[in-house]
Amino acid sequence: MEPSAYLLLSGILFGIGVVGVVARKNVLIILMSVEIMLNGVNVAFIAVGSHLGDPTGSVFAFMVMTVAAAEAAVGLAILIAIYRLKETIDVTELSVLKW
Amino acid sequence: MVTGILDYLWLIPGLPLLGVILNGAIALFSERPLLLAEAAHGEEGHGHGDSHGAHPAPAPYRKLVAFIGPATVGAAFVVSLLSVIALAARSPHDRLFVQVLFPWIQAGGFSAPAALQLDPLSSVMILVVTGVGFLIHVYSVGYMSHEKAFARYFVYLNLFTFAMLILVLGSNYLLMFVGWEGVGLCSYLLIGYWYEKKSASDAGKKAFIVNRIGDFGFILGLFLLFWTFGTVNYTEVFAKIPLLSANGVLTTEIATAITLLFFLGATGKSAQIPLYVWLPDAMEGPTPVSALIHAATMVTAGVYMVARSNALYLLSPVSMGVVAAVGAATAIFSATIGITQNDIKRVLAYSTVSQLGYMFLACGVGAFTAGIFHLMTHAFFKALLFLGSGSVIHALSGEQDMRKMGSLKKHLPITFTTMFIATLAIAGIPGLSGFFSKDEILWKAFSSEHGHLVLWAVGALAAGVTAFYMFRLVFLTFFGASRMEPQVEKHVHESPFSMTVPLMLLAVLSVIGGWVGIPEVLGGHNHFEAWLAPVFGHGAAGVHEAAHHPVALELGLMAGSVAVALCGIGLAYYLYRVRTEKPKEIAETVPTLYDVVYNKYYVDEIYDIFIVRKIVDGSVWLWRAFDAAFIDGIVNGIAAAVRGAGDGVRRLQTGVVGNYAFSLLLGAVLIVGYILAR
Amino acid sequence: MEPILFVLFGAIAVGGAIMVVTRKHPMSSALYLILTLFAVAALFALRQAHFLAAIQVIVYAGAIVVLFIFVIMLVNVPEDKLPVERATVMQVLGVVAAGLLILEGAVLARRFLLPSGTAADAGSVQAVGKALFTDYLLAFEITSVLLLAAVIGAITLAKKKI
């Protein structure tokens, strides 16, 4: 089956993840939306890689996963630190960089 | 050996320049700190134009300046003399020497090298400038000895000499203009020497601004000249005249335009109608300055310029007529003002304006040699008159009003004798220098093909008026009973040698200076005319005109002008020695006429109302409406716009991460959209 | 066969993703996330990328989401203190923009015709392992450094007292 359907799916997953990042205020949900975005990207990699018969696609997806793990860990650590300080997980209240 | 001296032509302006540098260094590093320290201590300054204040302990630098100032000009005189002798050693056709100093301007086809040109005309000028200038520098050492800003004076005086020498030695119009502007600047600096006094600084400004108006004409003339000839170098311009006239490029109209524009500059620099108004005010400056700048040298720059451009002027009968008419009108006009003035220097100032009118009258009728001749003799006796008046003022502790003088003959014998000789010269008494030069002008005004009976009549009348007011000056100042203030009379004394020796030398020159130009009808050879023939010979058709007039006519007119002068002297004697109450009676009989003449025909006031006020009002409007409102509005408006924009844009920084992510998303959508659209 | 399974698992993935993004309580989102990840793993397997499918389940669903749940329970925000998610302009705009992006992506993808290939074994453990330890060895090693940095960073950031 040709990969364009997979690519469309990848795009849809990515779009849903982006909506989550943009529209939600809960930091945890935002981080989870990022994970969805990364998954969408992985789908694209695997689809094209398997279509072309190149393991590079899988390798790349592997790297993405590794990075996603590291990023989730660090991101959650930051979240905990902020929660201790500010007692909130609402992104709109974490706006010290406001004009 | 002597011919080699011409290689050192550059020393003639170079030596005064050296004086400027040396004196300038002294003024900056020795005098200025001294003056600033004194001012800081709040000591009473006395720089207001009179001597006999407290004598400050003379600082050592003053001796140095007193030597360098005159010495450089004296050395320049020696070099000038040797150079002129070297020039005379050549045959008359070969008397043109150009020394290129450096290329200066080379722009495509336009070349204006910084070069000095020595020919008969400029040789006369350099001798007058350096010779009379040297005597005035020496005189200044004595006259200015009580001044605090001694070094500054000599810096400016040397700078003036340098600029004037550049003016007369330049080999092209552009270099002449450099010198032209330079003397204007120095005139401003020197007239406003006592700048703490408002009237002096105002006079300096007036001189510079009025000159500037004339310079505007000069510059336009220069542009037109370059546009027509493609060059500004004298030799090239004059050589091209026949060719360009023949092929129609140089029409009479263009020649008229160029010469009239140049003449506008000359009216400014040489104080003719309408731009003479600065010269009487310029008497605010120290008297030696008046002698040098406003009698002997700077004001003659206009005459020199017209004489140098004689080939151009001869192409345009209209310009010749204008020059002659303006010259004659100015001569009689300012002579009439001179008869009512009470300030001794003002009389001499108006006299200068009048005599300059004579020089332009001469040039206007084609008698350029006569104009330069009168320039030279006038330099001698007018400088002498000014320096003598300075001696009188110095003796009277600063008094300049002739109504408060009198009987100075016995107190100031040397000053009296020398000034009397100068007065005889300016009145045109036969045998003295002024007679020969003035008479030649009057004769040419009558007889030349460009001349006219009316011009002669006006000139002769002005000669009579001149004799009158000059002898009035002498009688009021030196004769009669003393009208001096008592405390002034106590201190009256003859001036020191540094001041009287130049007077005596100038008196000698006033007598013998005219003997180089004795006309043929009186048995002389007129060497002066022969000397200047290479410069004026071509086209000065008036020279040959004399042959067509009978000798008796010339002698008759000569006798007539002498008679007019004697009438003037006689009238002055009558009114100021015999019936001394008469002048007042006459003034009371025609009070309005007297007022008008006494107030210089209200010319300054008229200029102020119709010209100056209008310009000032225009400036104020421009300041308020244009500069403050419009331009500042634009600048402030831009600043306000930027601030407003910043104010709006900063609201994008919400601090909410989601918003930032959205902007990233938006950017990505737009970029991909753009790629798709291509 | 493949298209049917694709549509099935794809729908599950999309549905799960939408639920993740729209739930109020983060716990619900986390659980739906697990569903989505499993669906994606199935899609990987469908494309013969067995290695990655396994890794997806083990690492993503088994570690990362577990970490998420730990943090959710650690933070333990009470129900009433959860951020109020009102409908805002940003939500609408976000959906619109994302939709545009997807559309553009689709058009873009249509333009590029990929050369067809088969090689069914490209995603097997052997192939990936081989590629990972020969061509991409450097990247592999650097990844380990990255993970070390992440570990140290996470510990440091989350400590009460450094």
**CB B467 within 8 Å of CB B507:** no
Q: How far apart are CA A47 and CA C48, in angstroms?
A: 10
Instruction: Please judge whether A84 and C23 are an interchain contact, meaning their C-beta atoms are less than 8 angstroms apart.
Output: no
The pLDDT assigned to B470 comes to: 92
Q: Are C161 and C81 members of one domain?
A: no
Query: Which residues lie closer than 8 Å to B663 by C-beta, 6 or more apart?
Result: B652
What CATH number corresponds to the domain at position C62? Answer: 1.20.120.1200
The DSSP bridge pattern shows strands B110-118 and B97-107 to be antiparallel
Name the one residue in this structure whose structure tokens are 């206009």: B302
Whether residue C37 sits in one domain with residue C80:
yes
**Structural domain count of chain C:** 3
HEC per residue, B530-597: HHHHHHHCCCCCHHHHHHHCCHHHHHHHHHHHHHHHHHHHHHHHHHHHHCCCHHHHHHHHCHHHHHHH
Residues C37 and C71 in one domain: yes
> Using CA atoms, how far apart are residues B30 and B10, in angstroms rounded to an integer?
29
What three-state secondary structure class fits B171?
coil
Q: CB under 8 Å to B635, separation ≥6 — which residues?
A: none
- 3-class secondary structure, B172: strand
DSSP codes joined into one string, B106-146? EETTEEEEEEEEE-HHHHHHHHHHHHHHHHHHHHHHHHTTT
Neighboring chains of C (3 or more beta-carbon pairs < 8 A) = A, B
Chain A CA closest to residue C65: A32
Q: Which two tokens stand for residue C18?
A: 């939408």
Beta-carbon contacts of residue B389 (< 8 Å; ≥ 6 apart): B287, B344, B345, B348, B419
Q: Note the pLDDT of residue B52.
A: 45
For B522-573, the pLDDT digits (tens) are: 766 677 877 888 887 644 444 444 456 677 888 888 888 888 889 888 888 8
User: Using the beta-carbon criterion (under 8 Å), do A46 and C114 form an inter-chain contact?
Assistant: no
- Distance, in Å, from the CA atom of B419 to the CA atom of B382, rounded to the nearest integer, reads 10
**Degrees to nearest 5, angle at CA C141 with C137 and C144:** 145
pLDDT of B543 reads 45
C6 vs A5, A66, A70: nearest CB = A5
Q: Which strand (E) or helix (H) includes residue B98?
A: strand B97-107
* Shared-domain flag, residues C1 and C81: yes
Q: Which of A32, A55, A84 is facing C30, going by the closest CB pair?
A: A32
Does any CB of chain B come closer than 8 Å to the CB of residue C21?
Answer: no
The angle at the Cα of A28, spanning A22 to A33, to the nearest 5 degrees, equals: 45
DSSP B45: P
For B66, the 3-state DSSP assignment is: helix
Which residues of chain B, if any, have pLDDT below 50? 1-2, 45-55, 538-546
- Contact of C45 with chain A, judged by CB distance below 8 Å, is answered with no
Model confidence over C94-126: pLDDT tens digits?
888 888 888 888 887 777 767 666 666 677 888
Q: Cβ separation of B665 and C94 shorter than 8 Å?
A: yes
Tell me, yes or no, whether C18 and C53 share the same domain. yes
Q: Does residue C79 contact residue A86 with C-beta atoms inside 8 Å?
A: no
B651/A99 touch (CB, cutoff 8 Å), yes or no: yes
- Nearest chain B alpha carbon to C102: B669
The answer to whether the CB atoms of C18 and A16 lie below 8 A apart is yes
| Whether residues C160 and C104 fall in one domain | no
* Helix then strand then coil, % of chain A, to nearest 5: 80, 0, 15
Cβ within 8 Å, pair B658-A95: no
- Is A24 strand, coil or helix? coil
Question: Is residue C37 domain-shared with residue C3, that is, in the same domain?
Answer: yes
Q: Is C110 found in the same domain as C136?
A: no
* Confidence grade of residue C27 (pLDDT, cut at 50, 70, 90): very high
Instruction: Give the residues of chain A that fall short of pLDDT 70.
Output: 1
Residue with tokens 């009002």: B617
Query: CA B173, CA B150: separation in Å to the nearest integer?
Result: 34
Q: In this complex, which of B650, B651, B658 lies closest to A22 when CB atoms are compared?
A: B658
Given an 8 Å threshold on Cβ–Cβ distance, is C90 in contact with A23? yes
Cα–Cα distance between B279 and B291 in angstroms, integer?
A: 12
Does the reported pTM lie above 0.80?
no
At residue B57, the pLDDT reads 60
Q: B676 and C108 in contact by Cβ < 8 A?
A: yes
B110 touches chain A (CB under 8 A): no
Q: Distance (Å) from the C-alpha of residue C116 to the closest C-alpha of chain B?
A: 24
Question: Do C76 and C26 lie in a common domain?
Answer: yes
* 3-state SS assignment for residue B398: coil
Query: Do both C73 and C144 map to the same domain?
Result: no
For A93, name the nearest residue in chain B, comparing CA atoms only: B656
Contact yes or no for C85/A26 (Cβ under 8 A): yes
CB contact under 8 A, C90 and B658: yes
Per-residue pLDDT of C43-77, as tens digits, reads 999 988 999 999 999 999 999 999 999 999 988 88
Q: Which of C56, C123, C157 is opposite residue A74, by nearest beta carbon?
A: C157
**B673 contacts in chain C (CB < 8 Å):** 100, 104
**pLDDT for res B539:** 41
Asked if the peptide bond before residue B274 counts as cis, ω within 30 degrees of 0, the response is yes
Interface of B with A in 619-658 (CB under 8 A): 650-658
Domain holding C132, by residue range, is: 124-162
Measured between beta carbons, the chain B residues lying within 8 angstroms of A96 are 655
One domain, residues C22 and C63: yes
**Are both C107 and C148 inside the same structural domain?**
no
